[in-house]
Amino acid sequence: MTSVPHGLADPAPTRRGLVLGGGAAALLVAAPAVGAPPSDAEMLEGLLSMERRLEAAYEASLRHGALDERLALSLRDQEREHVRGLEQLLAAGGRRPLSPPARDARLAMALANREAFGRYALALEDRAVGAYVDVAAGVGDVELLEALGAIMTSEAQHRVALRRALRARLLGV
């Protein structure tokens, strides 16, 4: 009989180990059913949809006076730049940009007054920053990551500007 160096022998299975192992096996079996992770292009399309929604919101705020005009113009114009940049990234990858998103019913309610719109826009910007963080975590292309990081930084600045307009704490704490 050959001896196995101490610490390298397989320990006797325990009930806990079998249960945990069985759970892991179930996850492995279920993994293919979940599907493949989204491609970079699919993630960019999701970000583009979000950016178009933000652009439309700021455009509507200009028509309804729901945000200080100078701030609304600045935010809308920056969102337009984000839309253009994402469209170019998609086109470079051979993808056609999606059609604009459907009208958001919550936007109509948010246009009632400046505070309501500010909170609505802030929630959209919060989601945008979170989406960029999530997408950046799954992107391997350094140039794409740099472009997304620049837009994410801009979205974070939008959050600060909206918090100032709402006279809310800048860090949200």
Asked if residues 46 and 99 have their Cβ atoms less than 8 Å apart, the reply is no
Its domain, for residue 62, covers 40-97+107-166
As a whole number of angstroms, the distance between CA 100 and CA 123 comes to 20
Q: How confident is the model at residue 38 (pLDDT cuts 50, 70, 90)?
A: confident
Let me know: does 80 contact 69? Beta carbons within 8 Å: no
* Inside any domain, residue 129: yes
Contacts for 149 with CB less than 8 Å, ≥ 6 apart: 132, 136
Compute the distance between CA of residue 77 and CA of residue 80 in angstroms, rounded to an integer: 5
11 belongs to a structural domain: no
Number of domains the chain contains: 1
Given a cut of 50, is residue 20 above it in pLDDT?
no
- Tell whether pTM > 0.85: no
Residue 20 lies in a domain: no
pLDDT of 64: 96
96 — pLDDT class (breaks 50, 70, 90): confident
Q: What is the mean pLDDT of residues 107-124?
A: 95
Q: Are 94 and 45 in contact (CB under 8 A)?
A: no
Asked whether residue 13 is assigned to any structural domain, the reply reads no
Confidence (pLDDT) at 171: 65
Over range 114-138, report the average pLDDT: 95
Between 2 and 131, the higher pLDDT residue? 131
**pLDDT value for 16:** 38
76-84, Cβ contacts within 8 angstroms, sequence gap of 24 or more: 78/154, 78/158, 79/51, 79/54, 79/55, 80/55, 82/51, 82/54, 82/55, 82/151, 82/154, 83/48, 83/51, 83/52, 83/55
In-domain check, residue 80 = yes
CATH of the domain at 65: 1.20.1260.10
User: In this structure, is residue 63 part of a structural domain?
Assistant: yes
Phi, psi of 94 (to 5 degrees): 85, 15
Is residue 71 one of the residues assigned to a domain? yes
Kindly state whether residue 83 falls inside one of the protein's structural domains.
Answer: yes
